Amino acid sequence: MAEITGDPQTGKKPKKYKVSRENSLWWMYIPAIALVTIFIVYPFFNGVRISFTDWDGFSQTSNFIGFDQYVRMFSDPTTWTVVRNTLLYGIGSTILQNALGLGYALLLNSSIRMRTLTRTIIYLPVIISPLVMGYIFYLIFAFQNGALNDAFMLFGFNPVNALGNPSVNPYIIVLVNTYQFVGIAMIIYLAGLQGISKDYYEAANIDGASTWQQFKSITIPLLAPSITINVVLNIIGGLKLFDVIVALTGGGPGNASQSSSTFMYSLYFSRQDAGYAATQGVLIAFIILILSLLALWYFKRKEIEA
C-alpha cells in the first residue's frame, strides 16, 4: 500500500519513484528483459545496421555503403524466388494446416471408435525434429529407391525426380511441413470445439437449422479465437521454415526451393556475404511483421463481430 499522506515525523512526502516502483514491480522482469535484449533485440538492431555495410562476416572492418545492398537486393532475381517460396511456405502451410486441422478436429469431436489412436498418430510428428522429419520424407521422395517411386513402378509408371524438380519441390516442402504440424492446429481446434456449449446446437436443431447452417453460424464464429491463434502461429512458423528445406532439398536445385532462412544461411556461411545476408534478414522480418499483424487484425475484428 503506497502512503499518500507523507511521513508523519518529517512531514516529507514520499518520493514518487518509490510508489511507481512498487506499482510496476519492474525489477521482477529484469532477468528476462536482459536475456532477450542481449540475444534478440540488440542483435536485431545491429543486423539492421549491418544491412547498410559490405561486411563479409569475419573481418574486423566493414564499410558503410548506404542503400547499396538494398538496391542489390531488389535487382537480384533470387530475391524474388526466395520471397515467393517463403510466402508459399508460410501461406500454403497456413491454409492446409487450418483446413485439415479443423476437419480432423470435427471428425475426432464426434463419438467414433479409435479416436485416441487417430489423435495420437496425427499429433506424433509434432514432437519429432523437423530435420529428422525431412530425412524420413527423403526416404519417400528420393529418386532412387524412394517409396513413392517404388509404388509408381509397381503400377507401371515412370519414376519421378520430385525433389530435383524446381516446379514441384516447394510444394513437397509445404506438404511435409503440414504433415508435421497439423497436429497442433487439430489440438487447438479440438479444445475450441469442446468449449462450445451443446445448448446452441440443441436450440438450432429445434429451429430446424441444417448441419451446414449450424457449422456456419455457431461453430465457426465461436471458434474465432482458435482460428486467430492457429493462423498467426502457422504464418510465423511457415515463414521461418529452415530445417525441412535443409534436409529435403538443401534449397536447390540452384536456388529453386530456397527460403529466406536457408538463403541467409548460405550467404553468410558459404559466400561470406554477411552484409547482404543481413539485408535479406531485414526484408523477411518486415514481411513477417506485416503478414502477422494483418492476420491478427483481420481475425480479431471477426472475433468482436461474433
Partner 1 sequence: MENKNKRLKLILTGLALFITLLHAIPFYILITTALKTRGDFSSRWALPDYFTLENFAIAWEQANLGSAMINSFLITAGAAVILILFGSMAAYPLARKNTKLNKAVLILFVAIMVVPPLTALVPLYQLVVDIGLLNTRTIAVLVNAAAFMPLTIFLYSGFIRSTIPKELEEAARIDGANTLGIFFKIVFPLLKPVTASVLIVACVFIWNDYQFAIFFLQSSDVHTLTVTMDSYFTENQHNLGLVAAAAFIAMLPMAIMFLMLQKYFIAGLASGAVKG
Write out the binding residues for partner 1, residues 104-163 only, by CB under 8 A.
104, 107-108, 110-115, 117-133, 135-140, 142, 145-147, 150-151, 154
- C-beta closer to partner 1: residue 5 or 110: 110
CB of 87 to partner 1, least distance (A): 15
| Residues 296/280/185/170 CA torsion (nearest 10 deg) | 130
- C-beta closer to partner 1: residue 236 or 256: 236
Question: Do the Cβ atoms of 52 and 66 come closer than 8 Å?
Answer: yes
Q: C-alpha 266: how far from its chain's center?
A: 21
The answer to whether 288 contacts partner 1 (rule: CB under 8 A) is yes
Q: b/e string for 125-145 if b means 16 or more Cβ within 10 A? A: beeeebeebbeebeebbbeee
Question: Do the Cβ atoms of 249 and 89 come closer than 8 Å?
Answer: no
- C-beta closer to partner 1: residue 73 or 239: 239
| Candidate ranges 3-11, 18-26, 200-208, 213-221; the one touching partner 1 (CB under 8 A) | 18-26
What part of residues 261-280 is at the interface with partner 1 (CB under 8 A)?
261, 264-265, 268, 274, 277-278
The answer to whether 59 contacts partner 1 (rule: CB under 8 A) is no
CB of 242 to partner 1, least distance (A): 5
Query: Cell for 261?
Result: 532462412
- C-beta closer to partner 1: residue 11 or 22: 22
CB of 168 to partner 1, least distance (A): 18
Of residues 2, 6, 38, 80, which one binds partner 1 by CB under 8 A?
A: 38
Question: Do the Cβ atoms of 218 and 201 come closer than 8 Å?
Answer: yes
- C-beta closer to partner 1: residue 81 or 280: 280
The answer to whether 52 contacts partner 1 (rule: CB under 8 A) is no
CB of 28 to partner 1, least distance (A): 5
Question: Do the Cβ atoms of 129 and 244 come closer than 8 Å?
Answer: no
Q: b/e string for 178-195 if b means 16 or more Cβ within 10 A? A: bbbbbbbbbbbbbebbee
CB of 120 to partner 1, least distance (A): 7
Q: Is 64 helix (H, G, I), strand (E, B) or coil?
A: strand
Q: Is 53 helix (H, G, I), strand (E, B) or coil?
A: strand
Q: How far apart are CA 261 and CA 244, in angstroms?
A: 11
The answer to whether 64 contacts partner 1 (rule: CB under 8 A) is no
The answer to whether 236 contacts partner 1 (rule: CB under 8 A) is yes
